[in-house]
Amino acid sequence: MIGETVTTTGQLFGTVLAVQANFYRVQLDPEDREKKSAHFPILLCTRRTRLKKIGQQVMVGDCVVVEEPDWAGGRGAIAEVLPRTGQLDRPAIANVNQIMLVFAVADPPLEPYQLSRFLVKAESTGWDVILCLNKSDLISAQEQQEISDRLLAWGYQPLFISVQNNLNIEEVVTHLSHKTTVIAGPSGVGKSSLINALIPDINLRVGEISGKLARGRHTTRHVELFELPDGGLLADTPGFNQPDLDYQPEELVHYFPEARKLLKVAHCRFSDCLHRDEPDCAVQGNWERYEHYVEFLDEAIARQTQLNQQADPESTLKLKTKGKGQSKYEPKLESKKYRRVARKTQLQALQDLYQDSEE
């Protein structure tokens, strides 16, 4: 019978590779693949209604339990999501081991501020950070050494590669082997070309470079995990130029390796020091990215202030009930400045004035 479903008593375990609408592409674990699904290592699954009722989200990278596999149709149902070791909300992905940032040293040129922003975002995840600098064949050995020395002062050992010339690609493979890695970076630096080199049959579309802006066009629109030939999973993320820095202001200093190094050998006078204007601060000093730190700190403080205002909407907003029982907050108006005096109040004032004139 076509589409016959074979129900197994044991559980199948797998990893969610992609989420598309209400379907999930799940790659079965190697043991289950060898024993039960040699011809269908990937199942297209739905989510059990029970998971939906309890609000259990299924993310790319989740380790899941699959039930009732239909081997003929390559389908199944996700019955359980195993505990996560960590997750990102943007992009939505779970159980990552490391982040690999890809930048170009030329065409487009390396921008220290943009690189610093990506590094801080990567550090905030708590995962290991690998920094790959592509198109290194376009710069001289001296320029490469200058960039290396600069980034070493930041606390990073960059890996210079060239996808075009197949330079140091094997070293990249070694870093990714048997790990789940998120690859990120701005558009136009060669991320898709690098993934094509790492996974030859993936056939990702490589974006063209906009000559006017010297930046890449957006080529990747969703998060998906790809299996590496030598083991491991690689997650591509949509290209973007300015990642959001969603952290607490007091956490920011720990996302700069050079600042962490300073705090290991000295202490600030105040325990709640933000390392900006406070006296006897151990972090304020002549390290290159301190200006970046101050700018990112101002951004974090502004974001925190906005969140606090949203958490207390009654301070500036009022709750107004609309039709069909729907409610929403609207800005409060200052009564004396904006609101017209009520007719009853006006009549009462005229009556009082008339009585005063009679007396």
User: Binding site membership: which residues?
Assistant: 134-137, 185-193, 268, 273, 275, 281
In single-letter form, the type of residue at position 81 comes to: V
Q: Which residues are annotated as a binding site for GTP?
A: 134-137, 185-193
Query: Could you tell me the CA-to-CA distances from 118 to 4, 121, 313, 336 in Å, in that order?
Result: 49, 5, 32, 48
Sequence-ordered list of residues with C-beta below 8 angstroms from that of 101, at least 6 positions apart, any chain: 115, 118, 119, 122, 129, 130, 131, 132, 184, 185
Which 8-state DSSP code applies to residue 38? T
Place of tokens 């004032």: 349
Which 8-state DSSP code applies to residue 222? S
**Separation between Cα atoms, residue 142 and residue 136, nearest integer Å:** 11
Which 8-state DSSP code applies to residue 265? H
Asked whether 132 and 234 are in contact (CB, 8 A), the reply is no
Tokens matching residue 108: 């487009």
Q: Which residues are annotated as a binding site for Zn(2+)?
A: 268, 273, 275, 281
Tokens matching residue 239: 């290209």
Continuous segment of H or E residues that includes residue 329: strand 327-331
